Amino acid sequence: MNHLEKDIGFTAEENEVVLVACQRNELLRLPYFLEYYRGLGIKSFIIIDNGSTDGSLEYLMAQADVYCIQDRTRYSILEKCFRTNIANKYLDNRWVLFADIDELLAIPGDGAVSLPRLCEWWASNNWFTVSSPMVDMYAASPLAQVHYEKGEPFWNACPYFDARGYRIFLNSSKDTSYIPNFRLYGGPRERFFAGKEARLSPFEQFLDDAYFSPHRPLKRRFLQSRVRCYLKEKHALGTILMQKSPLLLWKKGMEISPGAHFLMLTNGYTTANIAPDWCPLLHFKYFQDFKRKCEVEVERKEHWDGASEYKLYNNAMAQFLHLNPIYAHTAKYTGYASMLPSGLARCSAKTEGFVKRSLQQQGTAKVAA
């Protein structure tokens, strides 16, 4: 695989957070993706180009802060290992963020306190990994009417998210090898594509919300398991993981799963090293290129399970193009704080206090200057 054959001459300051990604034909999203993360304080990007034909490779090669690696290995193979390989080769004892080009990480303070500064804070508390619900964003209008302008903030086109409809399951007490120790499912993707057979009755919805919703305190594993048995047939129809472990202080020898959903080889990290704060990954899939992307990926068969997820999208596309995505629990994203009531963002009292103190210190420094 090309991303391992050649040394890219990577250098970075000691306290930098380095973003690692893999992309193919993402020229529509790349300009704002880079702008957004630069605004959070990221100064170095390692991005693999997997055979782009839309000019995105040339665009990346022209960016001074991007280490671009060309690798045409089949994505079904590359996806399994590129994050672990890159991090183990270049990023030992560094904070690393694994993000897809359609994902923006929301953080406490919305960048007023930089991401590297937040990572220093987390590390000072012996918190070395940060969990992220993956939150699908959508427009107020059907997909057929969505038009995103390259370079604009992604939420100009898709500012809405589901504030309900996610469910969180605690891992088995015997399953202590993976970080994080929970799994998250649901959201608009399930609402749009799962079909009538997965819809809950009012009573089932009550149980689902009471026992599994992220905005409520986690119930004991025993109680969850009893209710889950009752709802298992409908829960089984929505199996797309909606959580990731994208931000962590990397130690050589670790291994992260395909999709960055779990840290599999933790190199000594335990659940005590997981930050209590959640930083959502805002997922901007539903732009005007969604239909064509689905068609291409079904043909390529390079994603998980022979692109079965994309086949699901393709089969429902005729209806989805004209579906009104707004429903009773739609909420508008206006910053990190707007996700706190849904439970999809969580900010501990300690971190909230740190952010407030940091902002006060920055204000004092500006006045003094």
- CA pair distance 176, 152, nearest whole angstrom: 42
**3-state secondary structure string across 119-136:** HHHHHHCCCCEEEEEEEE
* CB neighbour list of residue 217: distance below 8 Å, 6 or more residues apart: none
Please answer whether residues 23 and 48 qualify as being in contact, where contact means their C-beta atoms are separated by less than 8 angstroms.
yes
Tokens matching residue 59: 């665009």
Q: Which ranges of the chain have pLDDT less than 70?
A: 1-4, 172-177, 195-199, 218-222, 232-239, 364-369
What pLDDT is attached to residue 1? 60
- CA pair distance 291, 89, nearest whole angstrom: 36
What pLDDT is attached to residue 365? 59
Determine the 3-state secondary structure of 167 from DSSP: strand
Please answer whether residues 21 and 45 qualify as being in contact, where contact means their C-beta atoms are separated by less than 8 angstroms.
yes
What pLDDT is attached to residue 342? 96
Domain boundaries, the chain: 2-368
Place of tokens 């000072």: 124
Number of C-alpha atoms within 13 angstroms, CB side, residue 226?
A: 4
Q: Which residues pair with 243 in a beta bridge?
A: 133
Tokens matching residue 82: 């590129």
Question: pLDDT tens digits for 15-43?
Answer: 999 999 999 999 999 999 999 999 999 99
Q: State the alpha helices, DSSP H only, in 282-348.
A: 290-300, 304-320
Q: Tell me phi and psi for residue 325, to 5 degrees.
A: -80, -15
* CB neighbour list of residue 261: distance below 8 Å, 6 or more residues apart: 241, 243, 244, 245
DSSP string, 222-273: HHHHHHHHHHHHHHTT-----EEEEEEE--TT-EE-GGG--EEE-TT--GGG
- CA pair distance 41, 117, nearest whole angstrom: 9
Burial level of 53, CB count in 10 A (0-12/13-18/19+)? exposed
Please answer whether residues 148 and 28 qualify as being in contact, where contact means their C-beta atoms are separated by less than 8 angstroms.
yes
Q: Tell me phi and psi for residue 236, to 5 degrees.
A: -65, -20
How far apart, in Å, are the Cα atoms of 268 and each of 177, 243, 255, 303?
10, 22, 12, 31
Q: What is the pTM of this model?
A: 0.92
